[in-house]
Amino acid sequence: MIEGIKELREKLESEIKEASKVFVIGHNDPDIDSVASAVALAYLAQTYGKEAYVVIEEDDIKIESRLKAVIDQCKEPYHIIRKRDYLDLADKKSLLILTDVNKQERIRVGDSLDRIGRTMIIDHHNEGETTVPASEKYISLAASSASEIMTRVFLNGKIPIPKDIANYLLAGIYVDSKNFEFNTTETTHEMRKKLLKMGANPELANDFLKEEFETYCRVKDLVINGTIFKKYFDSIQAPVNAAFTLNRKKPKQIYLKDDLAKAANDLISLSGVNVGFAIGYVEPGVINISARSGKRVNVEAVMDAMGGGGNAQLAGGRFTTDDIFALENELMGKVPCGIIEEDQDTPPQMEKTSKK
Ligand SMILES: [Mn+2]
């Protein structure tokens, strides 16, 4: 494990210079922190004279508008490519850098890691069983963001940061720290000041925060206006209360998959709700269901019966259909598949908490 920023900068320099090409990847469902730190790394590799690429394999529709604008602006100067290009271009002498992520299932090229020779990780998230084996890694849980780490790398190397990248890094810090409320240290503020002095635009960062607010409103609106409750009586057991959310006024409305996950989380946080489902189109003709439950319903069993999957408390599925109400009806019929019998002598299920 790399300990300090100076060592990180030196390892980056030597690893990049040794490599034939450099590929950078952030986590699935990109956010401004993963994108900003990734383009900053691609730029760093360019300054060392290396061919560098950022792999972003997301359908445009799943990316929010401001982030999409950033990705579009970065496409040419920082060589944003798709996974298939990575598969074409990568070789055994290539270096892959993971930024803002360290787990195999959270990156699009997780199944094709044998294509490259060496791997580096730069992250601010906990490691786990599926952390990608890396030649070098720097993981700082104290850092607000991968953007903060990358800002420090540039400053440590006295490498000038282009204005556009300074803008993105500042936005990455704003969003990941939720406007300096979370994981914020003196260093976070120091990096903010340095980026502002370099001419970074705080308005762009604010736009991203505004987008967070818009997402919040979109999700709350869906939950407030689209939720109905249904009780399931299971013989002598206490009733199971299920909540179903979908946009009943504009059923064809397209949502981000993440919106539905957030809505389902909201439902299960309501007192008295044992299981919650958020249902919405993620593209025309394709519906996503996000399911969450407490201890009385196994949503894996419910979603399994629907043709989806997951675990006992967090599950979901993707369905090709144009009839959201028919799908909801079918789902309502499948809820009993997951109701856990009270009087069985089975040990209580382990509560699985799952964080994005
Ligand atoms: Mn981050």
| Residue 229, φ and ψ in degrees, nearest 5 | -115, 150
- Strand, helix or coil for residue 317: strand
pLDDT for 317: 96
For residue 227, the CA-to-ligand 1 centroid distance in Å is 32
224, 114: one domain: no
pLDDT for 233: 80
pLDDT for 211: 82
What are the structure tokens assigned to 82, written together?
A: 């798709």
155, 230: one domain: no
The residue to which tokens 């986590």 are assigned: 27
192, 224: one domain: no
189, 221: one domain: no
For residue 224, the CA-to-ligand 1 centroid distance in Å is 29
150, 88: one domain: yes
In whole angstroms, give the CA distance from residue 356 to residue 261.
10
* Contact yes or no for 159/198 (Cβ under 8 A): no
Give how many domains the chain has, as a whole number: 2
For residue 100, the CA-to-ligand 1 centroid distance in Å is 5
Domain annotation covers residue 356: no
pLDDT for 235: 66
For residue 145, the CA-to-ligand 1 centroid distance in Å is 5
153, 249: one domain: no
For residue 276, the CA-to-ligand 1 centroid distance in Å is 28
Helices (H), the chain: 5-18, 32-47, 65-75, 83-89, 146-156, 163-176, 186-197, 202-226, 257-269, 299-306, 324-334
For residue 271, the CA-to-ligand 1 centroid distance in Å is 31
For residue 172, the CA-to-ligand 1 centroid distance in Å is 7
pLDDT for 355: 43
In whole angstroms, give the CA distance from residue 246 to residue 33.
30
- C-alpha atoms less than 13 angstroms from C-alpha of 294 in its C-beta half-sphere: 15
For residue 187, the CA-to-ligand 1 centroid distance in Å is 16
For residue 184, the CA-to-ligand 1 centroid distance in Å is 13
Give the gyration radius of the chain's Cα atoms: 22
For residue 354, the CA-to-ligand 1 centroid distance in Å is 17
For residue 27, the CA-to-ligand 1 centroid distance in Å is 9
170, 243: one domain: no
User: What is the SS3 string spanning 112-174?
Assistant: HHHHCCEEEEEECCCCCCCECCCCEEEECCCCCCHHHHHHHHHHHCCCCCCHHHHHHHHHHHH
11, 152: one domain: yes
10, 118: one domain: yes
For residue 259, give its domain range: 217-338
Please give the helix or strand (H or E) that residue 233 lies within, else none: none
For residue 26, the CA-to-ligand 1 centroid distance in Å is 9
**Residue from 217, 206, 213 nearest 180 by CA:** 206
In whole angstroms, give the CA distance from residue 283 to residue 301.
26
9, 155: one domain: yes
In whole angstroms, give the CA distance from residue 100 to residue 96.
13
246, 320: one domain: yes
In whole angstroms, give the CA distance from residue 278 to residue 257.
10
Report, as ranges of residue numbers, the positions in the chain whose pLDDT lies below 70: 60-61, 234-235, 343-356
